Structure 1
């Protein structure tokens, strides 16, 4: 109960303008002029702008004419003893601080890269769950340490607001941690699934687009929870200085429609997390037939840490909803039920954090695990092909390793090729030398063809064969040197031996398709009805061949 000071009803001091509070004399006229009110329930004296403590040892010595108290203590000072709320909060804060250390260790372990970063799987995706864990630890520490001043303040003020403000942020952070853990597990399953064959799953199909929009849907509802809770007038929560003030201001503000709607948004976030878990199991784990087999497979394929984390996350949502309907169990109340507050408000968050940390210690780094899987697949393929890989020490034992380190090898290669502008000159010199060698080889090949085809023989028919038989056909175009040389030889042979070339062409046409060389047939004797050429002979085939003495015989 609170009442206005009525000095006429109180014991009179030395005179009619004097009053006594806690054995100290004050001027009654001054107190009435500045509209001070005395609250015996908490031993405070206050008006619209000032509040002072009136119990020992904080009682002021006197009051001035301008309403200022001498040697006074403000009501908004931490003068009380630490209560049970602060003691339990300190114990929880110590555990959260230790958890922060282990979270940083897991972040370093799982955030390291041992493989080149892929555009499809960003490294930050595996780190988000640990970033949210750091956020949860930081907000919980602030909330728990500000809870100390909630007990020590005689008049509730800023500490109760800071306590519940960071507690709500901690609730949102732990829901985001569970979501990122589930989402990244699905991404890790996809990465293992496509590692043997990157083209087995498309990115723009129905599955890929669902995985693209689902995180946006989750964070939309999480931010809706944030905007329904945080941007508000928190002053009514401070009005718990008397039972009447608590019922009039604090209770309606702590159980309004915005807190209830925020609980619904947080529940949608939990449902979205379960949908993401179901989606990953459906697409990246073996499928079961039948409703009951699928339900059993859903819980069987789910990692054990999610079996613990998802019910605890639902407990977080349930307690936030309970606070929105029952003020007596809410952390927003100064003298709340501490068992309900710490058991429902902080214990589920701390357990989720512990499960996440233990799971991080038991799981290997994903890049290292992927390297191990690739090595096992390579060994299985080698066994199927019958290949036996030598161990790494085999080459060193057999001296198959070049001396020196990698820097010496690079320097040796640079000395062989050259460096800077000398390197360019060396390349030009090598190119010129190779071009010259190619030209020389082409000239030698042309000279060899001409000498072989143009040499003189003792046999007329052998000369005809050597001159009239075309060289082997080349499938390449006429732009090559060899093709031009062959045509030159054919033109020269047709000029030197025109008739023989025609006869050879005729014999070749007549003998085509028989699979025999025309030049291997015995020469025909010219009859009376046949025309004789200058190279034909009427002698017997057993006689000596005709000798060509000069170009006039041709």
Structure 2
């Protein structure tokens, strides 16, 4: 920029503007060859030749957030992440279709929507990842960071509370199914007014409180200073508190897992939950580090893309993959409950047959009983499984 009486110049003196008009409307020509008054910003170099008129308006102008550069590393990796999240979105819909179906009458104590929530949150997380990944393309290409950077950073940050909610609902649903299996076997096994039920009532309230506070402090705020990589804003108290609240929400999930393990004592430990907890802890740790150290901040444009993709996106992608893999492998809850009921009924029938067999000997294998035994069994209750016709017994 140079000054020559009534003219101000940009682009090494190749473009000039009326100094009086620029001063009247608060426009300043910056060293990066842009003209801005903080409400309007236009490019003023090369083939971008704007003209300012007496009322402060511009024509033949291009905004500072116009994509003018070639795509670079951040944009390429963003596209890759967006494609991966798109595949995860499809798989989330498949798992929702599988586990969201009901094969038993509705129960007030165990609602169908409860086991759908993990997949709802996986869908939300994948959708946020798609948007953040594709908007990363224009973060590389724009001359001055603006709307594209804001959308990229916002949707990137929201993937953490959404993924934490998916992990929480998966943990809660696992505990709920363990309770449901116990109640189906013995209706009075778990009361609804004991300490266990009260703890399980308050757990989600505390978790979603911390998770919402993390979302509120990090997302619902002014984003223009953040898009310009303002160090004082990126490392302010709100981002520090938001990262700590995310860690507290993570701790609630750990506590809920330990409590459920204590009360239900399942035959198999749910290893999928510690795995996703470890993955999300990596992202939470990076958020905390970014809030206190500007050099590695996920919101700093000059930071290496390796930070945001290896420590930011990758843990979320892997966590969702683990959740979906478990959903693909595990059966529908209603169908599993029916299988357990049939197994118990089969066991009871075998015990009844063993008691009714002569001399206390049960019928083994496929050996055909003698006529005398068939006559003795004529008065036995009918076979629940339809293997024999009681009417044809002699």
TM-score (norm. length: structure 1): 0.61
Number of aligned residue pairs: 364
- Alpha-carbon spacing, 1:32–1:216, altered in 2? closer, same or farther (3 Å): closer
Q: Give the gaps of 5 or more residues in structure 2.
A: 354-379
Match of residue 30 from structure 2: 39
Equivalent residues in 2 for 1:180-329 (5 A)?
A: 180-240=169-229, 250-285=230-265, 301-329=268-296
Report SS of the residue matched to 1:195: helix
Match of residue 53 from structure 1: 43
Deviations 1:6-60 (CA, angstroms, capped at 9, x unpaired): 226xxxxxxx8696855746355556644543333x2223345443222222234
Distance 2:17 2:220 in 1: 44
Q: Is this contact kept in 1: 2:10–2:44, CA < 8 A?
A: no
Deviations 1:405-456 (CA, angstroms, capped at 9, x unpaired): xxxxxxxxxxxxxxxxxxxxxxxxxxxxxxxxxxxxxxxxxxxxxxxxxxxx
Report SS of the residue matched to 2:286: helix
Deviations 1:349-403 (CA, angstroms, capped at 9, x unpaired): 00010011110111001111111111111111111111773754766x98xxxxx
Q: Is this contact kept in 2: 1:328–1:337, CA < 8 A?
A: no
Match of residue 145 from structure 1: 134
- Alpha-carbon spacing, 1:53–1:283, altered in 2? closer, same or farther (3 Å): same
1:371 counterpart = 2:338: yes
Equivalent residues in 2 for 1:36-115 (5 A)?
A: 36-40=27-31, 42-60=32-50, 63-68=52-57, 70-115=59-104
1:359 counterpart = 2:326: yes
Q: Is this contact kept in 2: 1:45–1:52, CA < 8 A?
A: yes
Distance 1:390 1:143 in 2: 56
Moved over 6 A (4+): none
Q: Is this contact kept in 1: 2:15–2:45, CA < 8 A?
A: no
More moved, 369-378 vs 231-240: 231-240
Q: Is this contact kept in 2: 1:19–1:28, CA < 8 A?
A: no
- Alpha-carbon spacing, 1:383–1:89, altered in 2? closer, same or farther (3 Å): same
Report SS of the residue matched to 1:90: helix
Offset, 1:259: 1.1
Larger radius of gyration: 1
Distance 2:10 2:245 in 1: 56
Equivalent residues in 2 for 1:120-139 (5 A)?
A: 120-139=109-128
CA RMSD of aligned residues (A): 2.6
Distance 2:265 2:91 in 1: 31
- Alpha-carbon spacing, 1:270–1:206, altered in 2? closer, same or farther (3 Å): same
Q: Is this contact kept in 2: 1:7–1:28, CA < 8 A?
A: no
- Alpha-carbon spacing, 1:32–1:124, altered in 2? closer, same or farther (3 Å): closer
- Alpha-carbon spacing, 1:64–1:119, altered in 2? closer, same or farther (3 Å): closer
Distance 1:19 1:212 in 2: 67
Match of residue 409 from structure 1: none
Match 1:26 to one of 16, 29, 32: 16
1:332 counterpart = 2:299: yes
Offset, 1:235: 2.1
1:7 counterpart = 2:4: yes
Deviations 1:463-484 (CA, angstroms, capped at 9, x unpaired): xxxxxxxxxxxxxxxxxxxxxx
Offset, 1:127: 0.7
Distance 1:254 1:141 in 2: 24
Q: Is this contact kept in 1: 2:21–2:54, CA < 8 A?
A: no
Distance 1:19 1:265 in 2: 50
Report SS of the residue matched to 1:346: helix
Match of residue 346 from structure 1: 313
Distance 2:105 2:340 in 1: 16
1:173 counterpart = 2:162: yes
TM-score (norm. length: structure 2): 0.85
Distance 1:165 1:264 in 2: 18
Report SS of the residue matched to 2:167: helix
Offset, 1:304: 2.3
Offset, 1:195: 1.1
Offset, 1:281: 1.1
Distance 2:39 2:385 in 1: 83
Match of residue 480 from structure 1: none
Equivalent residues in 2 for 1:514-533 (5 A)?
A: none
Distance 1:63 1:119 in 2: 68
Q: Is this contact kept in 2: 1:136–1:174, CA < 8 A?
A: yes
